[in-house]
Amino acid sequence: MDNEQESTKMEEAYQHMLERMYEHMTGEGAPLEKAIDLAREDTVRSKGITPDEADKIAGYLLRDLQDLGDHLHQDKEKKDLRDWLLMDTTLIEAAIRDLLFSVADKTDVELMDLAEHHWRPTLLHTGEVTAPGVLACTFCGEELHFDRIARIPPCPHCNNTEFKRLRGARSRATE
Ligand SMILES: [Zn+2]
């Protein structure tokens, strides 16, 4: 499998896991972490990935959900997903945008609770899969805008492999 196919497989698996997690939470009322476990098993079965790959993807998903939960918690007045994505949401692939809005809307209490207990600043790395939004290179500050679920490339400017998610500050600064 070449690198591009590998990336597509990982990106699809992330999206599938997020969809299934949401269904387990809203359908059977599974608690968030249980819903991720169930979604991980579903994804191994239906997307042909190994349990090791599924563990990694579940880790990326949990990282992004904790970050989203922390954002919702910090920004309790507005609880605005658009501030977390930090980009024009009309540019984001419709299916994933709608899914993220549903997750943020219907599971916000669980996400905030998760973040309150587990969130810490987390760096993202080349080769990992990320939710849409804006990541900044920790070395040169180059911003990478992702309009879909994507596997993170090396920094196109300096080839660094470490990024942090940008959120909120810009829209708040312009208010
Ligand atoms: Zn860079």
pLDDT digits (tens, 9 = 90+) for 83-92: 999 999 999 9
Written as six digits, the tokens of 34 are 């249980």
Measure 132 CA to ligand 1 centroid, in angstroms: 19
Average pLDDT over residues 93-120: 91
Q: How far is the CA of 57 from the centre of ligand 1 (A)?
A: 24
CA of 98 from ligand 1 middle (Å) equals 31
pLDDT of residue 174: 40
The CA 155 to ligand 1 mean position distance, Å, reads: 5
Share of the chain above pLDDT 70, in %: 95
Distance (Å) from CA 139 to ligand 1 centroid: 5
Residue 27 C-alpha from the chain's centroid: 21
CB-based burial label for 90 (10 Å; 0-12, 13-18, 19+)? exposed
Three-state secondary structure call for residue 85: helix
- Please state, in angstroms and rounded to a whole number, the distance separating the CA atoms of residues 58 and 36: 7
At which residue do the structure tokens 């609770």 appear? 113
DSSP run (H or E) holding 41: helix 32-47
Give the distance (Å) from ligand 1 centre to CA of residue 157: 5
pLDDT of residue 152: 98
Which residue type, as a one-letter code, is found at position 133? G
Gap from CA of 16 to ligand 1 centroid (Å)? 30
Give, rounded to a whole angstrom, the gap between the first and last alpha carbons of the chain: 48
d(CA 92, CA 85): 9
Give pLDDT, residue 173.
39
Q: Classify strands 162-166 and 133-137 as parallel, antiparallel or unpaired.
A: antiparallel
| Band (117; pLDDT cuts 50, 70, 90) | confident
135 Cα: distance to centroid of ligand 1 (angstroms): 11
Distance, CA 6 to ligand 1 centroid (Å)? Answer: 24
Q: What is the mean pLDDT of the chain?
A: 91
Cβ-based neighbour number of residue 153 at 10 Å: 12
Residue 86 in tokens = 């930090």
Q: What is the pTM of this model?
A: 0.92
Taking alpha carbons only, the member of 160, 155, 103 closest to residue 131 is 103
What's the CA-to-centroid distance between 153 and ligand 1, angstroms? 11
How far is the centre of ligand 1, averaged over its atoms, from the C-alpha of 61 (Å)? 24
Band (169; pLDDT cuts 50, 70, 90): low
Q: How are beta strands 133-137 and 143-146 bridged, if at all? A: antiparallel
